[in-house]
Structure 1
Amino acid sequence: MLIDTKDYTPKLMGAIGQLGTAAQATLAGFHALDSAAAKGGKLDAKTRELISLAVAVTTRCDGCIAVHSAAAAKAGASREEVAEALSVAIALNAGAALVYSARALDAFGQQSG
C-alpha cells in the first residue's frame, strides 16, 4: 500500500478544516465550486468520479485521489473502469509533456537566438 487513504483522508479533512478556519472565504468559494461540479446534469456520479480520478492523477493530487477513489467505489465504478479512466490520464499527461517540451524548447531557442 503506497498511501493508506482510510487513514490519510480524515487527517487531510482535519487539516483542510483548520485552513478553512483561517481562510473562510477561500474555503467557502472552493466549496461552492465543488458543489456546482458535483450536481447531476448530463453525467452520472460514476462518470464524474472517473473523470475526477483521471484529473487527480494528471494534477498529482494525493488528497483528490483519496477522496475520489472512495467516491468512485461508492458510485459503483469497477476496477476495470478506473483502470481505463487512468489509462486516458496517462495518455493525456504524456501528450501534455510532449506539448510543453516543444514549448520549452521554443522558449530556449528564443533566449539563445
Structure 2
Amino acid sequence: MLDWKKKIQDMNFRLKELSTRTPDTLKGAALLAGAGAKTGHLDAKIRELIALAVAITTRCDGCIAVHSAEAVKLGATDGEIAEALGVAVNLNAGAALVYSTHVLDAVDRLRQA
C-alpha cells in the first residue's frame, strides 16, 4: 500500500517545480479548485466526499491522497466515505451498462454495413 502522506509530499514537491515552469497552469487549477467553495451551496465536507467519489472513478492516487486527508480533517465518518464510494461504484457500473448498449448498436450497424 502507498504511504499517503509521502504521496502528498512528493506530489507537492513536483507541483511546485511545475509551477515554476508553467505558473498560469497551476494558477488556473487553483482557481478551479476554489470556485465551488465560493457558491456556498455545499459544505466543505460534502465537496470532499464528492471529490473522493470522482477520484476513484478517475483512478487518481494523488486526488485520493489529498481529498482523503481533507475529508478526515473535516470529520467525514467512515460511513459517509463508504456511502460516497458506493455511489461512485454504482455510477461506474451504470455507465458500463449504458455503454454496453453502444457496443450492441455498433455491432448491429457494422454487421449491416
TM-score, normalised to structure 2, is: 0.88
* Alignment deviations for residues 51-78 of structure 1 (CA, whole Å, 9 cap, x no partner): 1100111111110000000100111101
* Partner Cα separation in structure 1 for residue 110 and residue 86 of structure 2: 36
DSSP 3-state at the match of 2:76: coil
- State the identity as a percent: 54
* Count of residue correspondences: 112
Q: Quick one: which amino acid aligns to residue 29 of structure 2?
A: F
30-39 or 89-98: which moved more?
30-39
Structure-1 separation of matches of 2:45 and 2:84: 11
TM-score, L = length of structure 1: 0.88
Amino acid paired to 2:91:
L
Does the C-alpha gap of structure 1 residues 107 and 47 become closer, same or farther in structure 2, counting only changes over 3 Å? same
The corresponding residue for 1:45 is 44
Q: Name 1:65's counterpart in structure 2.
A: 64
Give structure 1 regions of 4+ aligned residues with deviation exceeding 3 angstroms: 107-112
Over the aligned positions, Cα root-mean-square deviation in angstroms equals 1.6
Q: CA deviation at 1:26?
A: 1.3
Give the C-alpha shift of residue 98 in structure 1: 1.6
- The unaligned stretches of length 5 or more in structure 1 are none
Instruction: Report what 2:105 is aligned to.
Output: 106
- Once the two structures are superposed, residues 3-43 of structure 1 have per-residue CA deviations (whole angstroms, 9 ceiling, x without a partner) of 11111111011111222221222111111111112336021
Amino acid at match of 2:43: D
* Structure 2 CA distance for partners of 1:109 and 1:69, relative to 1, 3 Å: same
Q: Which has the larger radius of gyration?
A: 2
- Name 2:82's counterpart in structure 1: 83
How far apart, in 2, do the equivalents of 1:72 and 1:102 lie? 36
